[in-house]
Structure 1
Amino acid sequence: MVNRGRSGGCVTCRERRVKCDETRPKCQACQRLQLQCGGYQTKYASLKFKDQNHKFGTKGVIVRGATQPNRACNLRPLSEPDTAVPFYLHHYARMGRTMSSARGFYEVLIPIYCSQRQESALSLAVSAVASQVLSLWRHDHSSQPQEAYTRAVKCLRRTIQDRREWGNPATILAVLSLQLFETIDAIYSLRPSTHVHHNGAVSFLPFTNAGDDHDSASAYVRQFILHTEICSAIRQGRQLQATVSSCIDNGLLTLPDNPSAALDGIGVSVIRLQAHLKQELQSGHIMLSTEALSECIAKTRHVEQKLLTWANCVPEYWRPRRLSDGGNMDPSIPAYQSTCEIYPSCQIATIWNLWCIQRILIVKMKISLLHAQCESECNDMLSTLEVAELLHIFREMVDGVCYTVPFYLGNLSKPLSIADFADPTILLPSAHFPDRNGEYQPQAALDEHQRHIIAQGPWHIMSPLSRLLTFAFEADGPPMRTFFRPGQYEWIRDQFLRVTTLLHIPPVVASAQYGVGSPSKFLERKPSDAMVENLATGVRKGAIFMSGP
């Protein structure tokens, strides 16, 4: 267990490891030494690591070479780069995470991280990502994250020379952490993410111990590798890697009572259906017989029925609560059609958005097949009833994604900073709202809920918004922009630009014309469609191996 103590000192004094007089807004010690007082918003003292081994079965988290699983956590000095680690683990690995919605990375990261020595591959990889994340929050453009990344890569190379490490969850989490580092760097550079670490994690899949214990750490880590491969295959319109297909065919995809894993299983069907249609429809020239068309249409309906069944089977508390007509929402919070849907966490909301995107993909496939059917029957007219049904589904799914934007972003409008965690002017629709039983949460729980949305919200909604935009200008398949409601594409575009401003992703943050500082200003001078297309495409290339839609 780790406990940073109950000190309420400022960030700067705590980093200097000196006593702080806790004068606000700036402590006297920092003022006397003419230092920049870091303030009191980042409360590392609230981060406590608990023994989570009971969640992973009776055997616990098996980390080779560590005879005392949690011995390292309470021995690490709070010095650079490790000052970033508590911030990162607290706001991203602990807040808003439950095993019922686990995808398999963050949910097991803390207990396995705590089992490692300070200079292990996982420890160094987590420090690299943590330094990178905190550097973005501080806007300091430090070289320290890249230096930490280089150290982690060198350590990992030494570690995997031992074949016994290939199936170790700690080793695989180190690889996945380095892929996350690469993904963040690629997004901010608007370049394609390299696949070295992702492919490395996939190559370790045969060495993970499946066993019969579905609650083991290995099972969750394996689930995350499969999840990211499924997401990237859907994004790229490609088949799954052979190693992943083999694991799925051997029944290693699902975890008990885990809707996210079940949705990934449906995602495999979407991928295989995409590949089948790509083979059948060659270069835009229809090569399908009437029988083949009927078979393909039947397959799309079968996958769609799986998606509908999934939605009917999720836990009741997962279902969104809708606020409409501006009720209980501050007018400063942008909302499409004055509607917001509230979820228990960013993680659960994102799983629903992934479900929406998969249903939209089925709509695209059906439209392509209907066009093929019309051409094969020498008929220029699509069935009015069928098109109306597909249009309704498309709009319903796009609306669903739009309704999550206020939940993720509230009235956030400026580039995010650490001070936002204690900013009382930031409003979120889900804050101070009673639960399904009409009971209000304690203030501490509400504060933590708000911090988790501020930290994770923009990242979680960035990918779904960029996906909706790419539907509008993708070259393959039917033109989908005409399917959006009037003005909806523009609203989605503005919210996507707002997210890139919050995360200060170039080139938006460098230009005042996109309305930095207020959501309403995004509407004053609209960027060109070409600029939005390039930005959305750049973000999606960087996020190829990112979890989510």
Structure 2
Amino acid sequence: MVYLGRSKGCKPCKQRRKKCDEIRPSCTTCVNTRRTCGGYGNKKAIAIQEYDSRKEVALPIRSAARDFSLPIRERRPRTGTLAKIALSKEVPLRDVDDLNLRSFLHEFCITPTGPATSYGFLREIEPRLRQLDEQSNLAKACKMVAIASQGTKLNRPAVLTSKAEKLNHELVASLAIDLQHHSAASRQDDPLVVMLLGLYEMIIANNSRNGFHNVHASGLVALLGLKNHPISVLEALHDGKSLGSLRKGFTNGEQGVLAMPNHKTLTESLQSLLIALLRIGERVKVTSTEGLIDCDEKVWLLREALELDQEFAQWDESQDRTYRPNIIGQVGQASTTSEYNVGYWPGRVDIYFDRYISGIWNIYRAARLYLSEMISSLSNGNRNSTTELKQVQEMDVLVQDVLSSIPYHLTDNLYGFLNQIDNRTPLASVGKAASGVLVMHPLHVISNLPAVDPAVRSYLKKCLVWIEENMGVGQASIFAKSSTIETEDFASSCTLTLIGMMV
């Protein structure tokens, strides 16, 4: 027999001996026949290669992550009602759990190519899953998150959300037993499970179920021996204290988790700048609320804020060109702002080294815009007109940088998006849910700053709603409806995301 190479086509098409166009995530044949597309890989492609004790490093492992999903449940053209659910075919029940795990790894894990290039998001989850049984609490938590997210994305809430909620109840009960009866050594995965329980609540958040992730954020920081406040979490991530096994594989030293790889300059780290910003913001808030702020104190706070702004600028200037955005396209002006569909704000379209790096840049931009707003408030318009104009120009640049990053975060095929810019069709090839989680906090902050153009703020809120509807992260839509930044929900969400960037 002559070997003609690896057979092509998805699993259902090969079994049915049908021609497959190999479109991802689901081929056209499977979509038209209402079958679940079984993928294009084979078992060898996801085989786990074990550690070789004769060598000093582990053999390379190919990720099992895969974008596996049912077709989106479409709405009927005139009534807008959802079409009747058609059950999937040809995917055995025994394979569903494995496919859900692989979907989680695809949607929520950003795996770096190495610690010298990026730090990723939830990067340690897959290596840990390879050491555990499929019925472990960690595996169940991953499946729960994936199923809940798919329920929103695919317009199948009743079918999938109920299954995810059942897993949620099982995990909470199991976790309570673990904490009471098992030793600390046998509970090494508990912080990861608690973090994923919090992420689950962020995903399914809606008007009637809002803020449930707060209790998991509190539980997580308690397990790690921290105080329940973003400042405390940032300080712990900065110095590495009390993080135990969650710090495995983290090698960024004094720069902390919020840093560009190989950052070796003498400037302050972004983490330390954020800590200083939060502390100034707290003092301004407390003194203003209690009516204790006087002229001398205001001048002192303004001086501190201005010095901090210079340090932020120095951090920006010190970054390696490798990790700066590159312009790859341009969106033209629409006739009215109402035509600015998500992704189509006029201006540049930027591309980044990866989504972790883009997330760091947007955290910096949101922080500096927040600081600029604070400086304007403290100065009461008494600053030099030239200085005031310079600050306004700097804010405009920061806002445009954020707007230019949105297509990169929200689509998985940026070049495909560029090819359809002139048609202004809705964003296709929706990006990973992790990308939506990373970008939604900066968008929320900027969309609530009074100094930012109201049209921009409205557009950013539209983007947050889009993240909920298309990426399956309900907390983004809650943020879109909120008119305040410093809330417990926002702080808890930031805490869970920061620790997700750590592991």
TM (normalized to structure 2)?
0.67
Structure 1 residue 177 corresponds to structure 2 residue 188: no
User: Does 2:164 match 1:122?
Assistant: no
Determine helix, strand or coil for the equivalent of 1:83. Answer: helix
Match of 1:86 among 92, 95, 102: 102
Residue in 1 aligned with 2:337?
Answer: none
Q: Distance in 1 between matches of 2:217 and 2:183?
A: 18
Are 2:366 and 1:357 aligned? Answer: yes
Match of 1:21 among 7, 17, 21: 17
Query: By how many angstroms is 1:320 displaced?
Result: 0.4
Partner of residue 309 from structure 1, selected from 314, 317, 323: 314
Shift in CA distance, 83/298, structure 1 to aligned 2, threshold 3 Å: same
Instruction: Output the CA distance in 1 between the equivalents of 2:313 and 2:49.
Output: 38
Contact 2:8 2:40 in 1 (8 A): no
What does residue 502 of structure 1 align with?
A: 470
Whether contact under 8 Å (1:95, 1:452) holds in the other structure is no
Note the C-alpha offset of 1:486. 7.6
Segment of structure 1 superposing worse, 93-102 or 345-354: 93-102
Match for residue 281 of structure 1 among 267, 279, 288: 288
Superposed, 1:11-160 pairs within 5 Å as 13=12, 19-24=15-20, 36-39=34-37, 48=46, 78-94=94-110, 99-100=115-116, 106-141=122-157, 142=160, 143-160=162-179
Alignment of 1:398-409 (within 5 A): 398-409=399-410
Question: How far apart are residue 35 of structure 1 and its match?
Answer: 7.4
C-alpha separation in 2, matches of 1:381 and 1:23 = 72
* CA shift digits 1:300-326 (9 cap, x unpaired): 133223322332333432100024655
Deviation track 1:14-36 (CA, whole Å, cap 9, x = no partner) reads 9xxx945354479xxxx99x973
Q: Deviations over 1:508-536 (max 9, x none)?
A: 99xxxxxxxxxxxxxxxxxxxx9964599
The letter of the residue matching 1:21 is R
> After superposition, where does 1:238-249 map in structure 2 within 5 Å?
240=232
Change (3 A) 1:506 1:251: closer
1:517: which partner in 2? none
Alignment-derived partner of residue 417 in structure 2 = 428
**Structure 2 residue corresponding to 1:467, chosen from 442, 445, 468:** 445
CA deviation string 1:141-182 (max 9, x = no partner): 2211111122222222222332324872x2221111111111
The CA deviation string for residues 329-372 of structure 1, in whole angstroms up to 9 with x for no partner, is: xx99844333111112222111111100110121122122212x
TM-score of the two chains, using structure 1 as the length reference: 0.62
Cα distance change, pair 429–542 in 1 and its aligned pair in 2 (3 A): farther
Q: Distance in 2 between matches of 1:46 and 1:495?
A: 40
Q: Which residue of 2 aligns with 1:446?
A: none
Q: In 2, distance between residues paired with 1:322 and 1:21?
A: 45
Identify if the C-alpha distance between structure 1 residues 158 and 35 changes in structure 2 by more than 3 Å, giving closer, same or farther: farther
After superposition, the Cα gap between the structure-2 partners of 1:192 and 1:134, relative to the gap in structure 1 and judged at 3 Å, is same
The counterpart of 1:339, out of the listed 348, 369, 390, is 348
Specify the SS of the correspondent of 1:427.
helix
Question: Conserved in 2, the CA contact under 8 Å of 1:122 and 1:173?
Answer: yes
What is the identity, as a one-letter code, of the residue corresponding to 1:395?
A: D
Q: Give the residue type in structure 2 aligned to 1:255.
A: N
With over 3 angstroms needed to count, the CA separation of the structure-2 counterparts of 1:357 and 1:540, relative to structure 1, is: same
Inter-CA distance 469–93: structure 2 relative to 1 (3 Å threshold): same
Report how far residue 543 of structure 1 moved. 4.3
Q: Measure the CA separation in 1 of the matches of 2:294 and 2:278.
A: 20
The 1:46–1:399 alpha-carbon spacing in structure 2 relative to 1, beyond 3 Å, is: farther
Does residue 192 (structure 1) correspond to residue 211 (structure 2)? The answer is yes
Residue 258 of structure 2 corresponds to 260
- Quick check: 1:85–1:126 contact (8 Å CA) kept in 2? yes
Can you list the C-alpha shifts for 1:443-486, whole angstroms capped at 9, x where unaligned?
Answer: xxxxxxx9783555444443333322222xxxxxxxx2xx3348
Amino acid at match of 2:99: T
Contact 1:356/1:397, CA 8 A, preserved across alignment: yes
Q: Structure 2 vs 1, CA of residues 259 and 494 (structure 1 numbering), >3 Å: closer, same or farther? A: same
Seen in structure 2, the aligned counterparts of structure 1 residues 349 and 204 have a Cα distance that, compared at 3 Å, is same
| Residue 344 to residue 430, structure 1, CA distance change in 2 (3 Å) | farther
1:269 and 2:285 are equivalent in the alignment: no
What is the CA deviation profile of residues 252-288 of structure 1, one whole-angstrom value per residue up to 9, with x for unaligned ones?
Answer: 79833666254233221121111222233335x4622
C-alpha deviations, 1:228-257, integer Å up to 9, x for none?
x76xx4xxxxx647xx75775776798336
1:547 aligns with 2:497: yes
- SS of 2:431's equivalent in the other structure is helix
CA contact (8 A) 1:100 1:258 kept: no
Look up the SS of the partner of 2:294 in the other structure: coil
In 2, the alpha carbon distance for the partners of 1:504 and 1:247 equals 28
2: CA distance between counterparts of 1:390 and 1:107? 38
SS in 1 for 2:109: helix
8 A Cα contact 1:193 1:542, kept in partner: no
Distance 1:166 1:309 in 2: 45
Comparing 487-496 with 78-87, which one deviates more in the overlay? 487-496
Q: 1:281–1:287: 8 Å Cα contact kept in structure 2? A: yes
Indicate yes or no: 2:193 matched with 1:164. no
Identity of aligned residues (%): 15
Counterpart Cα distance in 1 of 2:431 and 2:479: 28
Provide the secondary structure at the position in 2 that maps to 1:492: helix
1:453 match:
431
Provide the residue aligned with 1:438 in structure 2.
Answer: none
Describe how 1:197-212 pairs up with structure 2 within 5 A.
197-206=216-225
Out of 442, 452, 463, which is 1:484 matched to? 452
Look up the equivalent residue of 1:287 and give its one-letter code: I
* Residue type of the alignment partner of 2:194: V
Q: Partner amino acid for 1:138?
A: L
Question: For the structure 1 residues 508 and 280, does the alpha-carbon distance in structure 2 shift closer, same or farther, using more than 3 Å as the test?
Answer: closer
Between the two proteins, the alignment pairs up a number of residues equal to 419
Q: Output the CA distance in 2 between the equivalents of 1:486 and 1:171.
A: 43
User: Do the aligned partners of residues 200 and 265 (structure 1) sit closer, same or farther apart at CA in structure 2, a change above 3 Å counting?
Assistant: same
- Evaluate the alpha carbon distance shift between residue 157 and residue 489 of structure 1 in structure 2; reply closer, same or farther with a 3 A threshold: closer
| Residue 393 (structure 1) aligns with | 394
The Cα offsets for residues 34-55 of structure 1, whole Å up to 9 and x where unpaired, read as 973123567686973756989x
